[in-house]
């Protein structure tokens, strides 16, 4: 049974600039699983779209330029999900973004939480995360 989880990206001033729904296999997940699945779903969506010009995701792909609403790759190519997941996990460990569940900061990648229909996950990026 798949579970839906609402994810929000916010600025440090509290402005929401991206909202998405993540599909997960379990009602109990770790921060690591959410980050990994988020990155993989963003990349899968981009890689499968022939028309996508901008990548809107947690990690800026290598050879991409920052645009107003995402990142523009210099040449259209598939993004490596495994490399991007590693960068996102490393960025969390270096406090380059905060991960909040219902306004409570998650401290460890192994922290687990239960997903309800009202669970809200917020990613608060402190600096751009540039990757693979």
Q: Answer whether 71's CB lies under 8 Å from 61's CB.
A: yes
**How many Å is the maximal CA-CA distance in the chain?**
40
Contacts of 75 (CB under 8 A, 6+ apart): 63
Q: Answer whether 54's CB lies under 8 Å from 71's CB.
A: yes
pTM to 2 decimal places? 0.87
Q: What is the mean pLDDT of residues 119-129?
A: 81
In 3-state terms, what secondary structure has residue 111? coil
Contacts of 90 (CB under 8 A, 6+ apart): none
88's tokens: 């996102």
d(CA 79, CA 77): 6
* Reported confidence tier of residue 12, pLDDT bands at 50, 70, 90: confident
> Domain coordinates of the chain in residue numbers?
3-125
Q: What is the pLDDT of residues 54-97, one digit of tens each?
A: 888 888 787 777 776 777 777 778 889 999 999 999 999 999 89
Residue 132 has pLDDT above 60, yes or no: no
Q: What is the pLDDT of residues 25-49, one digit of tens each?
A: 999 999 999 999 999 999 999 889 8
Mean pLDDT, all residues of the chain: 87
């Amino acid at each position: 049974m798949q579970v839906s989880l609402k994810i929000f990206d916010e600025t440090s001033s509290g402005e929401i600039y991206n909202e998405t729904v993540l599909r997960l296999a379990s009602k109990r997940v770790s921060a690591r699983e959410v980050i990994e699945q988020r990155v993989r779903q963003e990349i899968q969506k981009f890689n499968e779209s022939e028309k996508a010009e901008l990548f809107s995701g947690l990690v800026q792909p290598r050879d991409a330029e920052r645009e107003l609403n995402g990142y523009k790759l210099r040449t259209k190519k598939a993004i490596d999900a495994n490399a991007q997941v590693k960068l996102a996990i490393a960025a969390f460990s270096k406090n380059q973004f905060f991960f909040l569940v219902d306004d409570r900061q998650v401290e460890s990648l192994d922290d687990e939480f239960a997903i309800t229909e009202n669970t809200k996950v917020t990613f608060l990026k402190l600096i751009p995360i540039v990757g693979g």
